[in-house]
Structures are given as C-alpha cells and as structure tokens.
Structure 1
C-alpha cells in the first residue's frame, strides 16, 4: 500500500501540491486525472525522489520514502515509466531493457523477466536489435514500460502512457496495463485520456491546481456530471 498524507511541494514560490492525501492499495489500478499543470507529474516525481517535498508523508508498506535516495526507492519495489517515454535512442531495445535491471544481480532472474516483458510486448522481441530511436511512438512507449518492469516492481508509476499515440495504439497500451495489473503489479496511472483511465481504474482521484477535489471508484467518477463536463466532454459516457 502506498499512502500519501498532507503532501506539500513547491517550486520556487509556486505551490505545486497543496496538502494532498491519497492511497494506492495493493493489487489495484489507481488513476489521477486533471488538467495540465494540476500537479499530477509532480506527485509521481515526489514519490520517486526526483522532487523534494516541503512537508507531508509518502509511505510505502509503512516505510517513509521522503528523503530516501532514488536507488533505495527503486530497490523497495517502485518503478516509473516517465512522461515522454525517455528511451535511450542510440541503444538497442535489448540494451534499454537491461538498463531497467541495473540494480539487480541475479542473471537468471533478469533473463526470466526479459522473457516476461517479451511475452507482454512481442513487438519488442522482434526488434530487440533495433536502435530505440528508430521505433514508432507506440513501440517506444512499450519499451519505456518494459524497461520499468525489468526492475520487477511491486508498484508501477505510469506518467501519460497514451500521450501522442494513435487511438488503436492507445487501446493496445491500456490492454497491456490491465494485463500487467492482473499479473500482480499495482499501478498508479496519470493520464490525460480520462475516459480510458477511469474505465480501467479501481480507484480514481481528480487533481486540480494542487488539490484533490474528488475521489471514488473509476465507475463513480466516469458517471459524475462534473467529471464528464470537465474531462470527458458533455456527450461522452
């Protein structure tokens, strides 16, 4: 269980997060929706130690994460698939995936997880020799997720996995997110495609200018008139 309590984060004089509290229960998909600049990416970057909090608490299975070095957070079982994919363009698909396992030492386990990633993403196996920079946007997104999975996380943080992708590719990505979750990985998903995110989520939160303004099950928020108007367009279900 990831538990965030009264988390405040500021950049210079700007309050990015204003005392948010939320939970990500084990085995669930939790989504955080909101407009650009609401503080969604800041939330993920604070969990992983990339951004320092002003105050509050981020606990993972009862252990405080704030102030811990990034490698300790990864070793505790948390990985992130970042916004914009951030693959290493000049390295091959295989080299990118192996970098995801850089803190691990057991070569047999790493080889086993490589096969797991290839089962989830057969296209990566077909292209394991190819430079990551020559892949399509959808393939690069699959590689970013696959690389995060190579650390064998218990909690996967996903920042805008559908950004800039064609609708059919988005369907594929969301199917794979569901499959990863079914195989035992807890997921915290940030996504501008609120419709897809709420359909897949067990729990959901709405973040507006650094405050959580609504929460509920994915189905509850999908049916809420305020969410429909703000994030789904009035005519979408």
Structure 2
C-alpha cells in the first residue's frame, strides 16, 4: 500500500531522516517507536505533504505522491491524526466531525459516518453540541480520531495518540485503534508508549536519530532484550 524509499529530510543543514525505507502493507498496523527527535513525526508529516524531502520516494498504491499537497493526499485516502489532537476548540463536536468530511459532497454518506463515529465513540454523541475545547484530553483524542475517519481513509496515520492521557484512557484508545484496523483501515502509528504500540502492531520499526535501527513483528520486538531495556523500561538480568 505505502512504500517509502531512501527518504532524506533536512531542516537547514541537519538531517532529520537519513535515507529511511518503510513499508506499510494493506490491512496492517505498522508502528514506529523511538525517542524524541528520532524522526518519527517528520516521517508522517513528509508522507502527508507537509514537509518537502530532499530525496527519496513516497509511493501509495504504486503512485508517486511525493510533492503532492496535503489536500490531494487526503483525496487519495490518507489522513493524519496530528500530535496534540488539534481539534477546533471553538467549534462543537459535530462541527469538528463535519470538517473531517470537507472534501465530500455525499450528505447521506456523511450522516451515516457520523452515526458510525458515535457508535465507536459514544461519549462524542453525548457531547454532540459541546465546544471541543471543553472536552477532556481523552475525549479530544477520540474527536481527533473521529474527525480523521470522516474522510473515509484507507490509511490513517496517528502521531502519539496516547500522549498526556491517563492509563485507562490509553487502554481505550488502543482498543479503538484495533477496531479501526479490524474494520478494514490500514494504520501507521507513531507512539512513545512502546509497550502498547508493539502489542497492537503487525510490524514495527525502531527509529534512532533519523535511521532505522531495527524492525520486525510487534511480538519479536517485544521479546527483544535490547528493545526491552531501551524502550520498555526493563533491565537485563
């Protein structure tokens, strides 16, 4: 589905990505883990057309999408849930959801999708007319996910969806990520909570200062002693 090859991205003279290659197969959850500054968010922003790479390629369903603007990328079925949620605080929950469907004209389909979002996130229906800025952090993250789903993406990218949330809410968010994937949407997930991220991942990459240190199935990396020590807080015996 998505193929990133030899991608180099630089801010000034500093390379944030140093020729990385990543595959996101159709129907899978692929996770990127790594420390702050490893280049995870830069990769998502580059795929989304928000950052221009110095070299390399980004292919989606065998089409080169490098250089396309974000609107055209969304129209092809890719969407991004940004770090920090970025809901529109002075608009209602419903208005935020409808913004997610801004490229669509099918009112009947939009209404069905809003109903589907409310089934996935019952709390959003309860707070339908509440201003998004007055929601809790967990509710705002649900709204950000729901808004992204309103474009009917084939590939949804998520940047740190658990950031700043309570443990119980994080568990809910990861259950929802599984359900989104099971419904047929491919997921590319950037997440600092490596333990939860690897548990849901079919495949995972570890980024370190702009390059890929290792990759494997989520289970393989969960059992990797070096990964355990570096990212899961477990010391070698």
Instruction: Identify the TM-score tier after normalising by the shorter chain.
Output: over 0.9
Q: Deviations over 1:195-228 (max 9, x none)?
A: 0000000000000000001000000000001100
Q: Secondary structure at the match of 1:8?
A: strand
Is 2:200 aligned against 1:180? Answer: no
TM-score normalized by structure 1?
A: 0.98
Q: Deviations over 1:72-123 (max 9, x none)?
A: 1000000011000000000000000000000011111111111111111010
Q: Deviations over 1:20-56 (max 9, x none)?
A: 0010000000000000000000000000000000000
Q: Deviations over 1:135-191 (max 9, x none)?
A: 000000000000000000000000000000000000000000000000000000000
For residues 235 and 106 of structure 1, the distance between their equivalents in structure 2, rounded to whole angstroms, comes to 54
Match of 1:200 in 2: 200
TM-score normalized by structure 2?
A: 0.98
Q: Secondary structure at the match of 1:79?
A: strand
Match of 1:77 in 2: 77
User: How far did 1:69 drift?
Assistant: 1.4
For residues 225 and 20 of structure 1, the distance between their equivalents in structure 2, rounded to whole angstroms, comes to 24
Number of residue pairs matched by the alignment: 236
For residues 107 and 55 of structure 1, the distance between their equivalents in structure 2, rounded to whole angstroms, comes to 40
For residues 2 and 12 of structure 1, the distance between their equivalents in structure 2, rounded to whole angstroms, comes to 27
Q: Secondary structure at the match of 1:117?
A: helix
Q: Secondary structure at the match of 2:181?
A: helix
For residues 189 and 212 of structure 2, the distance between their equivalents in structure 1, rounded to whole angstroms, comes to 15
Indicate if the aligned counterparts of 2:158 and 2:190 stay in contact, CA closer than 8 A. Answer: yes
CA RMSD of aligned residues (A): 0.8
Indicate if the aligned counterparts of 2:47 and 2:58 stay in contact, CA closer than 8 A. Answer: yes
Is 2:50 aligned against 1:50? Answer: yes
Matches within 5 A, 1:1-237: 1-234=1-234
User: How far did 1:235 drift?
Assistant: 5.1
Unaligned runs of at least 5 residues, structure 2? none
For residues 22 and 66 of structure 1, the distance between their equivalents in structure 2, rounded to whole angstroms, comes to 14
